[in-house]
A and B are shown apart, each in its own frame.
Chain A
Amino acid sequence: MKLSTLQQSYINRRTNSFRGSTQLDSSTDGTVKSPATIFWLVLHGVCCLISLVLGFRFSRLVFFFLFSTSTNNIYTVPFNSDAGITIPVTTQLNHVNSMNRTAVVAASRVVVGRHGIRIRPWPHPDPVEVMKAHGIIERVQREQKALFGVKNPKTVIAVTPTYVRTFQALHLTGVMHSLMLVPYDLIWIVVEAGGVTNETASLIAKSGLRTIHVGFHQRMPNSWDARHKVESLMRLHALRIVRKERLDGVVMFADDSNMHNMELFDEIQNVKWIGAVSVGILLHSVDAAEVSSMVQKEGEEDIMPMPVQGPACNGTDKLVGWHTFNSLRYSGRSAVYIDDRAPVLPRKLEWSGFVLNSRLLWKDVDDKPEWIKDLDALDGDGEEIENPLSLLKSTNVVEPLGSCGRHVLLWWLRVEARTDSKFPARWIIDPPLDITVPSKHTQWPDAPPELPSNDEKEKVFAGTEELSNKHTTKTKTSRSRRSRSKRKHDTKVIGVQ
């Protein structure tokens, strides 16, 4: 067994590696083997046997010690090819070398033979050097951007409708961090349903961005249909602010639960008047089994790909139509209310897939294109604005972005907390909500009432307090139980981040 592997490795090395010139010459020429080669072969065989017995490459070592001449010319590295035979150096190179080195090359500092592998005592990264390296990388990337990126970048104006609810901090922080990473100037317009609140204000103050925080007189309704309408109105409100303040830049709609690719912000710099990007739709489905059963009913054999909304182009990259969301597949199975255990569907084309040049919204601008309707014309119209295409008289002026819609640059998602959601620690809503109802629907036994009950506060879903449906009676989590027993006075704003 061992013999065969040795033989095998021996054979392999003969064929693969650099071979000694003397071996090669004798084998290719076919001349009679000289006594020297026979002697070497015999010795080689003896050494192989010894290696078998002793178990290491004894022969190689012996020959190395016996035959390594300490020459110090270049290119005389001994090639340890066959087991045991040290080729005594390609000497013809030596000769040519020494003769021809008349006036040309300076003496080499290279020493042949075996070198040690130098390892320093602590071969691990030094934190100071790591930081310096990151500084270098950052400087290089800045230079690259300056050379190859967008010249004269425009300000990005992000419009976000929001309102206070359980997942607000989750969603808004995500958007906030994305916007903080944008390498261009940014103005963030946050429109809050139900009026400005301290909670939202403190959240967005952490961003360090220039923000415009305004309130909207309506509260967020509970059904998704109504909610979409209110959101549209909130966005139009923001656009009016853009018009009033004459903000200059590119307007994009960053819904607070969406996820943005950083390349989106680079891509929208290319927009001239109005552009469209592809939006991936992430359907939050409660039940994977439900989704897969829906698939099977439809009779599709492949896994449902992510639906994408956006511009559709023909072969010459001209806009010919739109990929919209097909909601027929989900008819009857979509969420109607916030809490429903069903996927939340987007509109046919979402606002977040469009970007506008802010000058389109300005009043009294001469070079505005004629296909844009004035914002005032929509006031009081009662017309439902589903997406910015309603602001245009003709839709073929829209510029497709992201290599004509082939890159999905952001993802749309709507997910909100449900009645049986668990609250994370220290998640408190400020100002305290109007309706607080003690809940008795948990499986844990009620704690003995050791605290006076008029100090207790419970958490209830925002946005559900105005309703008369069943949701108001619920919401109890273990967290508020604990807080009930600990807190003795009024609620304070405690950050959730």
Chain B
Amino acid sequence: MYNFIGSAGDVLEDDPVGRLKVFVYELPSKYNKKILQKDPRCLAHMFAAEIFMHRFLLSSAVRTLNPEEADWFYTPVYTTCDLTPNGLPLPFKSPRMMRSAIQLISSNWPYWNRTEGADHFFVVPHDFGACFHYQGSITIPPYAPPQKMHTHLIPDKTPRSIFVYFRGLFYDVGNDPEGGYYARGARAAVWENFKNNPLFDISTEHPTTYYEDMQRAVFCLCPLGWAPWSPRLVEAVVFGCIPVIIADDIVLPFADAIPWEEIGVFVDEQDVPKLDTILTSIPPEVILRKQRLLANPSMKQAMLFPQPAQAGDAFHQVLNGLARKLPHERSVFLKPGEKSLNWTAGPVGDLKPW
């Protein structure tokens, strides 16, 4: 019923079982369990993916207990479970945690040194991870609670009457009161240009009908904040609202499986003042096509981390992505003595044992 151009859509429905094997390292609990015990809020914030991924892999069919036959190695480190009293994450300990974990596995198991870590993967769901653009990086979506979203679904025939919808901060008064730093000025530009425009339903309120409102909107703005991504992207895809992505440097999740160009609208940050012109000049057929693609249930499923895991969800998309990267090139397996990455570089503080 939905015609997907290219192989993108079919790839979403692949089953990774049988195509790869993953070995999960047993790290001391100070890297994962103890952290979670200290702050159970980590399970609900947007970086919770790393925790859920660990749990999923432990019980998944792709897991192998024999490291010799593993294609990929997973190191369970909960690097972002460090929240402020308000629940905002502090990613600043992550480099040290990561380094310390790498030192541990490279000294206790031979598999890291064999390939200089090229067949190892980590789940690092924030900017730091995007920086880790070494050979094996797969961008995953931020965590958005699937059950909560499903309880707020409204009937499909409710007419979409909001043109553009956005709820969130435009200025970060606590950290950047003068503006210009937060979101590189893009969110502030959205507010200043369109606060008087009736087509734009934008404000900083936190309505209880946030999810329902998204289902009544044609376009949902997903501008960058302090980081380029946000759970809004996931929410927009799940609720069928066309995401308007305003982030020049964003790397979108599962970019090789989901045709983001075809389902979303990309706007340069410098074009924000012309946002209304851009959006109203999109031909209606294109808009209808984007909505049809968004309505594909496998697309929505691929963005979610349901508990327990279901077929086609984000866990499986990660594994599919890993499977697509197989087989490893021969050059990955280094001869002894060769070093291609220097994991010890960085400020001295980061090398302190954690």
Q: CB of B291 within 8 A of chain A?
A: yes
**Chain B nearest Cβ from A30, distance in angstroms:** 12
How far is it, in angstroms, between the C-alpha of A92 and the C-alpha of B350 when the chains are bound? 8
A126 surroundings in chain B (CB, below 8 A): 276-277
How far is it, in angstroms, between the C-alpha of A104 and the C-alpha of B95 when the chains are bound? 21
Q: Are A137 and B161 in contact (CB under 8 A)?
A: yes
Among B131, B189, B226, B277, the most chain A Cβ lie within 10 Å of the Cβ of B131
Q: Are A110 and B176 in contact (CB under 8 A)?
A: no
How far is it, in angstroms, between the C-alpha of A46 and the C-alpha of B288 when the chains are bound? 61
Cβ 8 A contact of B131, one of A12, A96, A132 = A96
Q: Which A residues from 96 to 131 make CB contacts under 8 A with B?
A: 96-97, 99-101, 104-105, 108-110, 113-120, 123-126, 129-130
Q: CB of B341 within 8 A of chain A?
A: yes
**Chain B nearest Cβ from A75, distance in angstroms:** 5
Q: Which A residues from 55 to 91 make CB contacts under 8 A with B?
A: 74-75, 77-81, 90-91
Known: A75-B127, A125-B276. A136 touches B198 (CB 8 A): no
Q: Are B188 and A93 in contact (CB under 8 A)?
A: no
A143 surroundings in chain B (CB, below 8 A): 288, 291
Q: CB of B342 within 8 A of chain A?
A: yes
Residue of A nearest to B284 (CB): A139
Q: Are A92 and B346 in contact (CB under 8 A)?
A: yes
How far is it, in angstroms, between the C-alpha of A140 and the C-alpha of B283 when the chains are bound? 11
Residue of B nearest to A26 (CB): B349
Q: Are A99 and B342 in contact (CB under 8 A)?
A: yes
Which stretch (B6-14, B144-152, B177-185) binds chain A? B177-185
A90 surroundings in chain B (CB, below 8 A): 92
A201 surroundings in chain B (CB, below 8 A): none
Among A19, A80, A136, A140, the most chain B Cβ lie within 10 Å of the Cβ of A136
A18 surroundings in chain B (CB, below 8 A): 88, 90, 92, 175, 226
Q: Which B residues from 192 to 209 make CB contacts under 8 A with A?
A: 192-199
Known: A133-B199, A137-B160. A115 touches B185 (CB 8 A): yes
Known: A92-B350, A130-B198, A130-B199. A119 touches B189 (CB 8 A): yes
**Chain A nearest Cβ from B266, distance in angstroms:** 13
B198 surroundings in chain A (CB, below 8 A): 125, 130
B341 surroundings in chain A (CB, below 8 A): 99-100
Known: A117-B179, A144-B157. A109 touches B248 (CB 8 A): yes
Known: A117-B192, A133-B163. A78 touches B181 (CB 8 A): yes
Q: CB of B85 within 8 A of chain A?
A: yes
Q: Are B131 and A93 in contact (CB under 8 A)?
A: yes
**Chain A nearest Cβ from B189, distance in angstroms:** 5
Known: A130-B199, A141-B160. A91 touches B347 (CB 8 A): yes
Q: CB of A348 within 8 A of chain B?
A: no
Q: Are B249 and A74 in contact (CB under 8 A)?
A: yes
A39 surroundings in chain B (CB, below 8 A): none
B175 surroundings in chain A (CB, below 8 A): 13, 17-18, 79-81
Known: A125-B198, A129-B276. A100 touches B133 (CB 8 A): yes
> What total of chain A residues lie within 8 Å of the partner, measured CB to CB?
62
Q: Are A19 and B199 in contact (CB under 8 A)?
A: no
Q: Are A136 and B189 in contact (CB under 8 A)?
A: no
Known: A96-B346, A125-B276, A133-B199. A148 touches B90 (CB 8 A): no
Residue of B nearest to A91 (CB): B347
Q: CB of A16 within 8 A of chain B?
A: yes
A104 surroundings in chain B (CB, below 8 A): 133-135, 137
Residues of B within 8 A of A (CB): 84-86, 88, 90, 92-93, 95, 127-128, 131-135, 137, 155-157, 159-161, 163, 174-176, 179-181, 184-186, 188-189, 192-199, 218, 226, 248-249, 251, 269-270, 272-274, 276-277, 279-282, 284, 287-288, 291, 341-342, 345-347, 349-350, 352
Q: Can you show 13 pairs from A to B with CB atoms below 8 A apart?
A: A16-B174, A21-B92, A93-B127, A100-B134, A104-B135, A115-B181, A115-B269, A125-B197, A125-B198, A130-B199, A137-B160, A140-B288, A140-B291
Residues of A within 8 A of B (CB): 12-13, 15-19, 21-22, 24-25, 29, 74-75, 77-81, 90-93, 95-97, 99-101, 104-105, 108-110, 113-120, 123-126, 129-130, 132-133, 135-137, 139-141, 143-145, 147-149
20 new A-B contacts, CB < 8 A, other than A104-B133, A118-B273, are: A19-B92, A29-B352, A77-B226, A80-B181, A95-B347, A99-B341, A100-B134, A104-B137, A110-B249, A118-B272, A123-B194, A125-B198, A130-B198, A135-B284, A136-B163, A136-B218, A139-B284, A139-B288, A141-B160, A149-B157
